[in-house]
Homo-oligomer: A and B are copies of this chain.
């Protein structure tokens, strides 16, 4: 098994075609995608950074935006600002929130915040879940779509009702909008219309938009001015932030308009996958360009099949699987991006079918 994993790491870079997202590009290819005509910043001021912040302000309809090196930094900062404003320490979020599972408890260790998880890890947060919290909260973090459960979205009316309830308690509402762009076709609403529900919004440039790294935090001017000071404290006000900002701006302009196309292709792929054996699509139908596939397959069979397809056909499908929610299943995340558009829905389904069958 380790052999397949290692081989797949190599194949990621040598295969001519990739199934997932925008594929894996070389340094040279990525450098060529960075706009060369945008100005450089100095410690986050001016140049491509200011240009991106301006554009994001407009796209999100918020008074101010601050470029940040990472969402981990941006979201801790947003919650810290809300907490300090209200003189409270407790923030609430879904059990699968990025802060809860991917950040080594940084919000606790660096900011002395306290987390309360709301709802069940396998389902979306509900109004009843929020009503069950019995303490005054500084902020509630909403994540759209809820990535770790397949990129699920609540109906718009549920979302609006939840946000209204939270606001009525005097609690701030923050959006983890790393994949906000991906929500626009399903909600048939602009990024600004969605962002309008929230006090602060974090959006990412390297996921669906295909930039190098980095994000923006957007919100009220006073909050964003304070966020700049916290960015410096976190060590995020680098001497040069322009390469990532320029790449993000190019990604925003190029790929935000493609979201409906990615979404429709995800739906078409799900159509083809739905009736295949040993596959459950989550959510079904997909609500964004991403979906999780819960596969009844042994990991080694999956990896062997992926390695063979990569080796013989020059197609990099997926690098591995994650533990399933039951012992007999494994989970993979399929995100439709530029690379995926190069396959018909039938081709994608055919490849997934072979991976699930463990077929060489």
Within the complex, the shortest CB–CB distance from A139 to chain B, in Å, comes to: 18
Do the beta carbons of A229 and B104 come within 8 Å of each other? yes
12 A–B contacts, CB within 8 A, in A order: A27-B36, A27-B242, A69-B238, A70-B237, A72-B233, A72-B234, A73-B234, A76-B235, A104-B229, A105-B233, A213-B238, A234-B234
For residue A196, CB closer than 8 A to chain B, the reply is no
Which A residues from 82 to 120 make CB contacts under 8 A with B? 103-106, 109-111
CA distance A239 to B37 in the complex (A): 24
CA distance A106 to B231 in the complex (A): 10
For residue A58, CB closer than 8 A to chain B, the reply is no
Do the beta carbons of A106 and B234 come within 8 Å of each other? yes
CA distance A239 to B98 in the complex (A): 14
Which A residues from 3 to 48 make CB contacts under 8 A with B? 13, 24-28, 30-31, 34-40, 47-48
For residue A74, CB closer than 8 A to chain B, the reply is yes
Size category of the binding interface on chain A: 35 or more
For residue A246, CB closer than 8 A to chain B, the reply is yes
Do the beta carbons of B233 and A214 come within 8 Å of each other? no
Do the beta carbons of A233 and B27 come within 8 Å of each other? no
For residue A208, CB closer than 8 A to chain B, the reply is no
Chain B residues in 8 Å Cβ range of A229: 104
CA distance A234 to B104 in the complex (A): 10
With A27-B38, A28-B37, A206-B239: A233-B110 Cβ-Cβ less than 8 Å: yes
Do the beta carbons of B47 and A36 come within 8 Å of each other? no
For residue A68, CB closer than 8 A to chain B, the reply is yes
Pairs of residues from A and B, 9 with the lowest C-beta to C-beta distance, nearest first: A73-B235, A106-B233, A72-B235, A28-B36, A213-B238, A70-B235, A213-B240, A212-B240, A213-B239
Do the beta carbons of B73 and A47 come within 8 Å of each other? no
Do the beta carbons of A232 and B104 come within 8 Å of each other? yes
Do the beta carbons of A240 and B70 come within 8 Å of each other? no
CA distance A74 to B28 in the complex (A): 28
For residue A177, CB closer than 8 A to chain B, the reply is no
Indicate the member of A34, A76, A235 with the most B CB atoms within 10 Å: A235
Chain B residues in 8 Å Cβ range of A305: none
Do the beta carbons of B26 and A40 come within 8 Å of each other? yes
For residue A241, CB closer than 8 A to chain B, the reply is yes
Do the beta carbons of A233 and B28 come within 8 Å of each other? no
Chain B residues in 8 Å Cβ range of A246: 27
Do the beta carbons of B232 and A106 come within 8 Å of each other? yes
Do the beta carbons of B68 and A39 come within 8 Å of each other? no
For residue A244, CB closer than 8 A to chain B, the reply is yes
For residue A337, CB closer than 8 A to chain B, the reply is no
For residue A236, CB closer than 8 A to chain B, the reply is yes
For residue A243, CB closer than 8 A to chain B, the reply is yes
Within the complex, the shortest CB–CB distance from A200 to chain B, in Å, comes to: 16
Within the complex, the shortest CB–CB distance from A248 to chain B, in Å, comes to: 11
Do the beta carbons of A212 and B243 come within 8 Å of each other? yes
Chain B residues in 8 Å Cβ range of A70: 235-239
Do the beta carbons of A74 and B240 come within 8 Å of each other? no
Chain B residues in 8 Å Cβ range of A244: 238, 240, 243
CA distance A68 to B242 in the complex (A): 17
